[in-house]
Chains A and B, each alone.
Chain A
């Protein structure tokens, strides 16, 4: 990222990219994040992407849309995205907002996210996708 390490960090781990959001992001920062992450996914030909959103104070409709767009773009580049770290109160709010049936796979935290990607990579046990179904994109 050319915006410095402050808001978000993106690390490479093997064939995966791990993006951690460190703080609340406003809309333009989310757009920049989306841009940077998608760029790096293409650059590194990543197979898996984990986005850790535990530090986001709020995932409102725009943040959710951004996460979905990232996952969609990643899929077009051949990468699978897992969102990790949604806290209970944020999860509840998202469900109330009507964003609960998100097609993007989610996992409790980084460790679980990596496990999910590894299972997917070996083709084992795909039923873990949290929506109980493989996303169709």
Chain B
């Protein structure tokens, strides 16, 4: 979506690609300081903000201003140099990906093309595309670090080990004897630190700040992608994305801001849990809010009751003056899939 805007507004390709690159640089630069689980939503939000700052629409620009400031570092001279280095490392890293990897990643992270659309284009499944994207991200992180540190991996084994660490795939890490390699190889030991710190954070949890309309889309897209890692069919993925959309809208409309945490579950069964939280005024009459057709803003009144119908489990806790928490779960089907 954003890529379209970029192209539409800025026109020329080099300029659009610069923006794309700038976005990824910011995301990766911020990745040391933000919670790694939030990397993907940040990518989406950042992309939008980078582009938003170019928009001629003054109102929109003003509205998004705070986000750009939040994410960008102060423009001190040394920071600019650092940013320049990061940007060039990012460019090098991107160049080391295959054309297909790069295109898919950029279309997805920056243009907001969903995995389903990408899958149709590639003649593959949404789940496969999501898995491929994860591998590409893992590789990009490694290549970025290598370029930034200007390290040439000393052995053939270095890259596979680093990529396995970067992806957080423990089975793969065992296969390539990652732990042993880190004992033997100094450069990898050094490079692995930021990758491992990242890996400690759970890869199966997403935390998405919700402060405005665009975040509703970002949250549902991110939730769909995470859910696509399980054996959910297209219908279930759409049910989940729609339920997330509804609860996020409630946050924006009634509390102004909040967050959504999407988490993959392993026990008691495989599934996905969505927790939408806000510190808003709370819902005075939860029972009534769950009635079909009850709306306080002229909507269809299907938001909460609808979300409840879409998911397998649904719970809502609300306290006047202290906000609302909606917890909902969808289980992976046990038989076929």
B303: Cβ under 8 A from any A Cβ: yes
A111: Cβ under 8 A from any B Cβ: no
Give chain A residues whose Cβ lies under 8 Å from the Cβ of B300: 61-62, 64-65, 99
**In the docked arrangement, what's the CA distance between A29 and B96, Å?**
36
A132: Cβ under 8 A from any B Cβ: no
Give chain B residues whose Cβ lies under 8 Å from the Cβ of A26: 213-214, 216-217
Residues 42 to 94 of chain A near chain B (Cβ within 8 Å):
55, 57-62, 64-65, 88-90, 92-93
Residues 143 to 164 of chain B near chain A (Cβ within 8 Å):
none
A97 touches B306 (CB 8 A): yes
Give chain A residues whose Cβ lies under 8 Å from the Cβ of B114: 24, 57
Range of interface residues on A (Cβ < 8 Å):
20 to 34
**In the docked arrangement, what's the CA distance between A102 and B199, Å?**
47
Interface size on B, residues (CB 8 A): 39
Q: How far is the CB of A2 from chain B (nearest CB, A)?
A: 10
**In the docked arrangement, what's the CA distance between A64 and B224, Å?**
20
Identify which of B116, B249, B309 contacts A98 (C-beta below 8 A). B309
Give chain B residues whose Cβ lies under 8 Å from the Cβ of A125: none
B310: Cβ under 8 A from any A Cβ: yes
Closest A residue, CB atoms, query B113: A23
Closest A residue, CB atoms, query B215: A26
With A4-B9, A90-B238 known as contacts, the answer to whether A24 contacts B1 (CB < 8 A) is yes
With A4-B9, A26-B213, A96-B310 known as contacts, the answer to whether A58 contacts B235 (CB < 8 A) is no
With A23-B112, A62-B249 known as contacts, the answer to whether A7 contacts B1 (CB < 8 A) is yes
A127: Cβ under 8 A from any B Cβ: no
B216 touches A4 (CB 8 A): no
Most chain B CB within 10 A, of A55, A61, A65, A96, is at A61
Besides the contacts A89-B238, A92-B235, what 14 more A-B pairs have beta carbons closer than 8 Å? A23-B1, A23-B113, A57-B116, A57-B217, A58-B238, A58-B241, A60-B303, A61-B246, A62-B300, A64-B300, A88-B234, A92-B239, A98-B292, A98-B305
26 contacts between A and B (CB under 8 A): A4-B5, A4-B8, A6-B4, A7-B1, A7-B5, A22-B4, A23-B4, A24-B221, A26-B213, A26-B217, A27-B213, A58-B242, A60-B246, A60-B249, A61-B246, A61-B249, A61-B300, A61-B301, A61-B306, A64-B302, A65-B300, A93-B235, A96-B306, A97-B302, A98-B292, A99-B300
In the A-B complex, the 5 residue pairs with the smallest Cβ-Cβ separation, listed nearest first, are A6-B4, A97-B306, A4-B8, A89-B238, A61-B302
